[in-house]
Amino acid sequence: MRKLPLWYGLALLVIICGVSGQVFAVELFLPEEVRPGLRGIARTVISGNTIETFDVEVLGVVPQSPPLSSYIMVRVSGDAVDRAGGIALGMSGSPVYIQDRLLGAISHVYTYSDHRIGLVTPAADMFKIYDEMPTPEPVLPEDVVAVAAPLLVQGLNERNMDYLLKGLGASRSQVMPSFSAASISIPAAFEPGSMFGVQLLRGDFQVASFGTVTHVKDDGRFIAMGHPVFHRGAVEFFASAAYVHYTLPNLEAPMKIVSLGATVGKVAQDRSAGVGGILGTPVDYVPISIVVNDTERGQRKSYYVESVKDEQVLIPLVVSSAYQSIDAALDRIGDGTAYVRVEFVSQGFTQRMIRENLFYSDSDIAVWCLVDLESGLELLMHNNLQAVDLQQIKIEVEISRERKTATIERATPSTSHVKAGESVDVEVLIRPYRGQLETRTLRLNIPPDTAEGLLTVTVRSGAESYYDIDPPVHTSILSAEGEAEDDEEPMRSFIADADTLDDLIEEYMDRERNNELVAEFYPFLDSPEIEDATEEEQALNDLGYYAWAEPVEPVVVRLSTQFVLEGMATFDLSISR
């Protein structure tokens, strides 16, 4: 049987956002008592933060598989419903009462259909969420009276939305615009029927889901929504007050236009039957500072956000914030050279973790200069050596319109005949973009145990791997319309052969940079004599077999320049003893 399309009342919103409330002790109306024709009322906010009531009629019970016992199908009516155009996105969690007992929370609406028909998640199922949350010890702040979804986005532009949504596991159809809440100062009640937000990112850019409070205990614990947000189980997200600007009728499903206010507590559970949280409880978060210097216009802009620490969402939240900061500061899309400095701070580090690099793009410098930021986050969040508790992320970006690139044209050794154990200088000619040839000199040291014969040296750019990967938020304009894009993650030069987190961090920081000249060669080593070797073993050894039995590390010399380099040159050396 074909399922009718349902919405969780869930949408995505990125915004800037304040709270209050009252306590309700309530008896539950159990699913086994439900009969068609029963009538009751529900509570929600249609505009501002004033809670209104509307009528509810039970149409039937829809049995479900565990962990939910059932859904209750209802028809809603009344002036508030008429003005909203039916059950709106953001009404999820609206408490339904029959005979002054809590039946449950409105949680689903049928799209492109009669928006006055919806489903209610039973309160008996939702109250199990309380069992997952211990009774809180903190005393509620004086300005918060305890009783106590679309995902909303404010501050981010269209260009990086797909990357953010992919990281959060949300679809494009769930995104709606939000008003800035910087001017929203009206305190919001936190009680059954109140709007509230499940916030992942706050500050200059914000990401949140919103819904309606279903029930609040006198100790500050609350349940809401009647459906999951990300279905992540135990979580630690911001719980925020919310303000409804307008409830907009819509053909697919009506929706509330919402801004968020101050953080009022923590969302601690994200389960099938809804979300649960605790008022007055602080949330651990990662502060992220982003400074962008636009040298073309002589402007320096600073941005600040705070992200929840959930490993599944931290990376897209941080990268999207950095991307938007660059776009906002430059106020253009296009070419440029970017110096980027990223620092990750954690009390668990034994050294400072800083990565500096130079990037160039002739099409979109904002996205291409984020490669090191994302790879560093992936290293910290996804390494299999040690969990990392990030305390802070600092990002500095300086962007020039000037093209600071150069091509390697030729590499010439000071002599082609070198003895093992000696050194040779290599003169490298590079041509800056539309500039005159320049010379850089590298010194190669030949290991003493290098075998006699010819040896090939490669001089290349440290940016070699940079040109082989896609940027974290890049969308190709070459993809044919309607053609399925490759969903695989772009290849990263992920660090291997590290035994500790310190080793991993050290190798990340020391990774080749795009502005470096790199000269390297693999030395053929003299074959050692083998004691008690058989005739066959000695013959193989004489042929150099055993010299290659163990991996041979290349000899590498690096030199920094002021250009993002490309190209390669090679030459041979004759090694003698």
Q: Which two tokens stand for residue 211?
A: 């819904």
- Which stretch of DSSP H or E encloses residue 55? strand 51-63
* Residue in 108, 120, 199 with CA at minimum distance from that of residue 154: 199
The whole-number average pLDDT for the span 35-45 is: 94
Q: Which two tokens stand for residue 551?
A: 């991996």
Handedness of CA 504, 475, 257, 44 (dihedral sign): negative
**Alpha-carbon separation of residue 502 from 351, 353, 511 (angstroms):** 8, 10, 14
At residue 470, the pLDDT reads: 52
212 contacts 194 by C-beta, under 8 angstroms: yes
CA–CA separation, 267 vs 248, rounded Å? 27
Among 42-56, 109-123, 555-569, name the one with the lowest average pLDDT. 109-123
Q: At a CB cut-off of 8 Å and minimum separation 6, what does 571 contact?
A: 411, 412, 413, 416, 426, 456, 457, 459
Q: At a CB cut-off of 8 Å and minimum separation 6, what does 497 contact?
A: none
Q: Which two tokens stand for residue 502?
A: 């310190």
Give bridge partners of residue 211 from the DSSP assignment.
196
DSSP state of 230: S
CA–CA separation, 413 vs 424, rounded Å? 7
pTM to 2 decimal places:
0.80
* Residue in 476, 377, 465, 479 with CA at minimum distance from that of residue 167: 377
CA–CA separation, 469 vs 25, rounded Å? 57
Residue ranges of alpha helices (H) inside 71-222 are 79-84, 123-126, 128-131, 161-168
At residue 24, the pLDDT reads: 47
* Residue in 152, 161, 151 with CA at minimum distance from that of residue 324: 161
At residue 113, the pLDDT reads: 83
Q: Is the pLDDT of residue 549 over 60?
A: no
Which single residue is written with the structure tokens 């609206």? Answer: 94
Higher pLDDT, 444 or 189: 444
The whole-number average pLDDT for the span 105-117 is: 87
Strand stretches in 69-111, DSSP E: 70-77, 95-98, 101-110
Q: Is the pLDDT of residue 139 over 60?
A: no
At residue 488, the pLDDT reads: 44
For 500-541, what is each residue's pLDDT tens digit? Answer: 999 999 999 999 999 999 999 988 765 555 556 566 656 655
Q: Which two tokens stand for residue 16?
A: 């800037």
**Please, which pLDDT band fits residue 289 given cuts at 50, 70 and 90?**
very high
CA–CA separation, 319 vs 473, rounded Å? 8
What are the two backbone dihedrals, phi and then psi, of residue 41, each rounded to the nearest 5 degrees? Answer: -130, 160
For 417-435, what is each residue's pLDDT tens digit? Answer: 999 999 999 999 999 999 9
Give bridge partners of residue 546 from the DSSP assignment.
none
**Alpha-carbon separation of residue 461 from 358, 361, 517, 556 (angstroms):** 12, 16, 5, 12
